[in-house]
Amino acid sequence: MAFNTIIVSFLILFTFTTIAIAATLAPPSVCQDTPYPSVCQASLPINNSSANIHDYGRLSIRKSISSATKFANLIDKYLTASDLTPGAINALKDCQYLARVNIDFLTSTFNSINTTQTPLSDTKSEDMQTMLSAILTNTETCIDGLKANAASWTSKNGVVGPIENDNKLYSVSLALFNKGWGRTKKNKKFGFSHKGFKNGKLPPFKMSQESKSVLETVGRRKLLQSNGAGQQVVISKVVVVRQDGSGNFTTITDAVNFAPNKSAASAGYFVVYVTAGVYEEYVNIPSNKRYLMMIGDGINQTVITGNHSVVDGWTTFNSATFIVTAPYFVAVNITIRNTAGSIKHQAVALRNGADLSTFYSCSFEGYQDTLYTHSLRQFYRECDIYGTVDFIFGNAAVVFQNCNLYPRLPMSGQFNAITAQGRTDPGQNTGTSIQKCNIRAADDLASSNGNTVTYLGRPWKEYSRTVYMQSYMDTLITPAGWSIWSGDFALNTSYYAEFNNSGPGSDTSRRVSWSYVINATDAANFTVSSFIAGDAFLPQTGVPYDGGL
């Protein structure tokens, strides 16, 4: 069935459902715990005095689907306007894509809660909360892009106001979902470790004879080594990218296009082995290429590079050299660069909106906005990240573990901020967790005159949340630790915390008053097992991780 037919059918059903509901306001008791009680009460009319939180939650999701669909159609209409600037076109195209993602996420959530009033399983509940959190992030990304790239056109056409109103409804939906179907807390087995790969090498694969032959042809002994723990990664097929034409493909994009669509977990990973070389291409791994694993020959050996930037007309969202939205994506032994330089301002190397994605032994190189952890759940292990201003930013639930963070020398007059976390709603399960990492100056910063100030982060959005745990901080970290964004914005609503860090930059005695030093109980909430459900998806990847502190 065509997408438009599905939406029309849904809207007809929704219209008749709404007509059948008497126009009485939702009781204040249901709405008082949402961020926008007045929006909640005005949007959710039910005449049944026995209606409960689940009834209101379902109605809220239905109305959110209707709003998201209207918005998507509105963006399609705007894109036909004759007075569009190039910046407006680019920003609207980002909004068009994000609106379709929101409809998919809302529909999936509604299907999961439509027939049950009992609590969902922890796994299902967290999946739904993750999608509803991403919907707010997607809409906020659209708004930011329009304001940054099409301010005059947006103001003239009154585009942003309706989108912001929609986002308030999505926020109400998230709050009602969390109250009605939110996961129940349970004791995690903190401290669990998974050995996985050893020294950047893969454990033995469980594979077909055809795939085994391919690996043997390209040098299986070099690529795959047992870690002695008997781990296996299940794969369906291996293809080789080699620039000299002796592999299956000469470009990464062609290999990704060849990968199967909507693979099931039982089929295993489709492996794209990218041999050493510098690949000047923009890679996009869409959401239908799930369970794709990309393996290179090592950091600075397999290099993917581009130079798109905001100064050159791209939106931040689409300036990335490498984009991935495919669930369960895994990358190993690859460098991803944006070489636009600090003078081009926002220029993303990796934009990741892939749920339950993993990067192991990879490098991300750029200046401002290097690594865009846009949304959903992500894990990075033993990676190197280089940048200057806000070089790890976004609104995913993300854990960096055993990584190296390298602040670089910024432009004259700039300071470094390692993180700019973008949480906009207290109900979102998002935040940046940096655990057992090393923070040292990159070579250019280390050899400079030492006047650059480097902060742990600053509050990009109102409920920004970042935690540093068990990490080494060198002398480059300023004693205040954290920077403001603008005035007192978000200082009372952000959550910036540190736990058991080491090194000369870890002294918390002179930190800003709006940051926290937390204990092990609080820190455990931001571990791999608890924060990103790592025990559910990481073992199958073969990537090592520590589940707890």
**Active site residues per annotation:** 390
| Token pair belonging to 169 | 């409804």
Run of H or E including 57? helix 53-78
What does residue 393 show for φ and ψ, rounded to 5 degrees?
-145, 165
CA dist., res. 411 & res. 503, Å (int): 27
Q: Angle at CA 505, nearest 5°, toward 499 and 506? A: 15
Q: Angle at CA 419, nearest 5°, toward 415 and 424? A: 120
What does residue 20 show for φ and ψ, rounded to 5 degrees?
-75, -10
Half-sphere exposure of 329 (CA within 13 A, CB side): 29
Q: Edge to edge, what strands does the sheet with 377-381 contain? A: 205-206, 233-241, 269-274, 292-296, 330-332, 357-360, 377-381, 397-401, 431-435, 465-469, 495-499, 516-517
The owner of tokens 């005449």 is 47
CA dist., res. 173 & res. 546, Å (int): 33
**Conformational region of residue 481, where left means phi above 0, alpha means psi within -120 to 50, and beta covers everything else:** left
Buried b (16+ CB within 10 A) or exposed e, 153-173: bbeeeebbeebeebbbbbbbb
The owner of tokens 């050159």 is 312
What does residue 316 show for φ and ψ, rounded to 5 degrees?
-55, -40
| Token pair belonging to 466 | 């970042």
Amino acid residing at 2:
A
